[in-house]
Structure 1
Amino acid sequence: MSRDLETSQRFYGAVLGWQFRHGKLGETFSVAEVDGLPVAGIGALAAEMAATTVTWTPYFAVDDADKAVDRIRERTGTVAVGPLALGEQGRAALAADPDGAVFGIWEGQVRSEWRVGTGPAPAWLELRTRNAFDAALFYGEVLEWATGRPDRCEVAYEEDKVVLRQGGEPVARLSGQALEPAAFDPQVRPRWHVHFRVAALEPAVAAALSLGGHRASAVHTSDRERCVTLRDPDGALFDITEGGRDSAAPQRE
């Protein structure tokens, strides 16, 4: 969500090379694309929601939004919005896990050529939370991970982190860092981080700084990739990643 859609499009277009088109949800919602394939959506906040914190939110596909919402509530999560019908496209709900990390669920069409970890889609997702094992149980039951279905994530424990794989490829990790749910700093409170892939880190950071963005972390590096956390002009945190797509666990430089 954005307070100024045009400013956000100009920012992310320069930093990440995205092009934009209006989606089927109206003039206040844009679909970001790379090479004609969707990467993400940016929606304009209504005027009465101007005080709302701007953030990137991952949405997870589910077969039935109503049943998924029931599972969230049964496991002490919170459902803030929905499920709501979004035209003929599908139904969505916005929720938070027991530690307060916000995520969405989506019941509807999902393009077969688009998923995290491949093509222009986000490179990977990362949940920083208090207890990765507890989080894995919550999300595993809500989203039906580790059920053996080919369209669901497999769960593995690697180097004290929970790593999610789809088709054998890592798409997300859950890492526990003894964080407090009510921590004021969004860098340290439980939250989902979205990593977008860039060809080179330094030019993307320079573009972000020139258009009102801010650098929010040191560079993290591994033998396969480098990444850094940025803030856009609205304050939304996101990560950019340079390098291979076969690692979901960079180390601090």
Structure 2
Amino acid sequence: MTEVAPAAGAAVRCVPAVPSWVSLMAGDLEGAQAFYGPLLGWSFERGPDRWGPYVRAVVDGVAVAGLSTSTGLQLPVAWTTYFGTEDANEVAERVRARGGTMAIGPLGFDAGRLAIAADPAGAPFGVWEGGCDHGRSWLSSSGAPVWIELRTRDAFEAALFYGEVFAWDTRDPKDLEVRWEHDRVVLRTHGRSVAALATGTDPAARPNWQVFFAVADTDASVDQARRLGAAETGPVLDTPYGRVAHLADPHGGRFAVISVRP
């Protein structure tokens, strides 16, 4: 995670087998925009409303995240990470065969097909089939998601599940490399670390994929998040990947911010 500016013509892509999109299920869509917009420098554009109100968060002209609200359903406020795939039906079959569950889909939508699943430990994740290519999954500018991390009871067991579901061992090493570093199973694509699986220290905590958004200054962002009504869920820490703060937005959605190392 070393880049801090998008390349010319950058775009969020569906990249096979790696995290490619993030979306927030918000209880209050206007409130979520009022919080994340100033905190992460987002502007918003209206998206398809087939399943309820939906907007895309935009950084430097590129959509980097989705925000939606359910219609008539009381769903928890949470961020979901979507993995790219060439075939959502095949992934759904692999999820079920390996002890996971399918909650939604696969269903067709404007950018392809999507599904929501959970791994055997209960961590939710999304699946996106959307004309996948083998470029970079997202840009690395301030305000964009730059790191996704699973905290779970057994990182190696989780890595076996995701590796089999998304066929990690069949990929070209240039497109996907799996390595062990800093006590994590780390996914790298095109020379860039994008995600990790780590064994959590709290056995009572529910396993989950947490989204890390890039910011210029973590401490300043924490101060701003507090003023906007957020709560800190842990101390600000220096990590091998950058200075990190874990936060909960005013409606309880958990996320993190990170100032990446130059």
Give the 5 Å matches for 1:14-163: 14-25=38-49, 28-46=53-71, 48-50=72-74, 52-87=75-110, 89-109=111-131, 115-116=137-138, 118-119=140-141, 121-149=144-172, 152-163=175-186
Aligned-residue offset at 1:215: 1.1
Structure 1 equivalent of residue 258 of structure 2: 241
How many pairs does the alignment contain?
236
Counterpart in 1 of 2:26? 2
Give the equivalent residue in structure 1 for 2:21.
none
In the TM superposition, what is the alpha-carbon distance from 1:110 to its structure 2 partner?
5.5
Residue 223 of structure 1 deviates from its aligned partner by 5.8
Superposition map of 1:195-214 within 5 A? 195-214=212-231
Distance 1:214 1:112 in 2: 37
User: Normalized against structure 2, the TM-score is what?
Assistant: 0.83
1:59 is displaced (CA, Å) by: 0.2
- Structure-to-structure mapping, 1:171-186, within 5 angstroms: 171-177=194-200, 180=203, 183=204
Structure 1 residues without counterparts, runs of 5 or longer: 246-253
Ranked by relative contact order (alpha carbons within 8 Å, sequence separation 6 or more), the top structure is 2
Aligned counterparts of 1:21 and 1:159: Cα–Cα separation in 2: 38
Hey, what does 1:249 align to over in structure 2? Answer: none
User: Which residue type is aligned with residue 86 of structure 2?
Assistant: D
With over 3 angstroms needed to count, the CA separation of the structure-2 counterparts of 1:130 and 1:178, relative to structure 1, is farther
Normalising to structure 1: TM-score of the pair? 0.86
Pairwise CA RMSD: 2.2
Change (3 A) 1:166 1:55: same
Is 1:161–1:173's contact at 8 Å kept on the other side of the alignment? yes
Identity in percent? 43
Unaligned runs of 5+ in 2: 1-24
Q: Distance in 1 between matches of 2:130 and 2:241?
A: 34
In structure 2, what residue type is equivalent to 1:158? E
